[in-house]
Amino acid sequence: MLLENRVAIVTGGAKGMGRAICERFAKEGARVTIADVDVAAAEEAKRAIEDAGGQALAVKCDVSKSDQVKAMVEATVTAFGKLDILVNNAGGVIGKQGQPTNLNALTEEDWDRVVDINLKGIFLCSREAVPHMKANGYGKIINFSSLGAISPPDAIPHYHAAKSGVVGLTYDMAAELGPHNIYVNAIMPGPFRTPFFDEVVVSKSQEEIDAFFAGMGKVSPLGRMGEPEEMAGPVLFLASDMSSFVTGAILPVSGGLPLSPTS
C-alpha cells in the first residue's frame, strides 16, 4: 500500500473528486480527514470508507474561515496523532454556476467569496498544516488549480484569477518548504463530471444533461470528460513516495486540453 501509516486531510472531500481521493487514499492505507462544508455528505463518505475497512474522520469546515480550519487540523492531529498529507481540493464557482460571471455581472461579494474559497482557503489550510509537517520532517501538499487558469473556456474572472493564484502560491510554497522536506505540487483539472456542475444542469432533462457533458468533453484530444476516480491516481502519485523528487510541479489532468483533437 502506497500510503501505509500516513495521515491525510482532503478538503472538499465529501463529493466529486475529493471523495474519490479520500476513498483511494483509505484503500492505500491512509487515515483520512474529510473536511467539508457539507457535513452530512462528509459523514456519508466516512461511512463508505469504514464499510470498506478504512479509517476516516468527517469534520465540518469552511476552508475560508481561519477558526474552522484551525479546529479541523487540530481535530485531525488529535484523532490520528500527526499529519503527513494535505489535499487542498475544496473549490468551485459557488453560487454562480451557470449564471453570467463576466466582469459586468460580477459583484464585489462574488469576487471575495470565490477568491476566499479557492485561494485564501489554501493559504489558511497550509498555514495550519505546515507546523505539524515540519515537526515530522515530512509533508505532501497538493493544491487544486484549474486548466481555466491558463485556458479559460468561459468568462469567470474571479474563479480563474483565484486558480492562477494557486499556481503562484504553489511555486512559492514549494521553494519555501522544500528545505523542510515538504513537497508542494498542484493539479490543473480539465473538465470532470462531478457535482461541480449541479447548479448548471439542475433544470435540464437527462438528455440535455448528457448532451451538455458530451459537448464539454468532445473538445479534448481524449474526447470525453474525466470521471472523479480518474483524479485519484494522479493525486496519489503526488501524495506518495512515488513522486520523491517532484516538487513545484503543475500537473494538468485534462484529457489533453488545452490541446485540440486534430484528426
Ligand X SMILES: NC(=O)c1ccc[n+]([C@@H]2O[C@H](COP(=O)([O-])OP(=O)(O)OC[C@H]3O[C@@H](n4cnc5c(N)ncnc54)[C@H](O)[C@@H]3O)[C@@H](O)[C@H]2O)c1
Residues annotated as part of the active site: 159
Measured from the CB atom, is 15 or 46 closer to ligand X?
A: 15
Which amino acid does the sequence have at 95?
Answer: G
Cα gap 235→256, rounded to integer Å: 17
SS3 9: strand
Distances (CA, A) of 34 to 124, 145, 169, 174, 256: 16, 19, 23, 24, 30
- 123 is an interface residue for ligand X by CB under 6 A: no
Site for ligand X (CB under 6 A): which residue of 16, 54, 139, 255? 16
- 117 is an interface residue for ligand X by CB under 6 A: yes
Site for ligand X in 227-256 (CB under 6 A): none
Site for ligand X (CB under 6 A): which residue of 28, 62, 84, 128? 62
Site for ligand X (CB under 6 A): which residue of 36, 84, 110, 128? 36
Give the count of beta carbons closer than 10 Å to the beta carbon of residue 52: 11
- 199 is an interface residue for ligand X by CB under 6 A: no
SS3 88: strand
- 33 is an interface residue for ligand X by CB under 6 A: no
Q: What is the DSSP string of 20-37?
A: HHHHHHHHTT-EEEEEES
Interface segment toward ligand X; rule CB under 6 A; list 49-57, 59-67, 78-86, 131-139: 59-67
Cα gap 8→217, rounded to integer Å: 31
Measured from the CB atom, is 154 or 241 closer to ligand X?
A: 154
For binding to ligand X (CB under 6 A), which residues are involved? Answer: 11-12, 14-18, 36-38, 41, 61-64, 89-92, 94, 117, 144, 146, 189, 191-192, 194-196
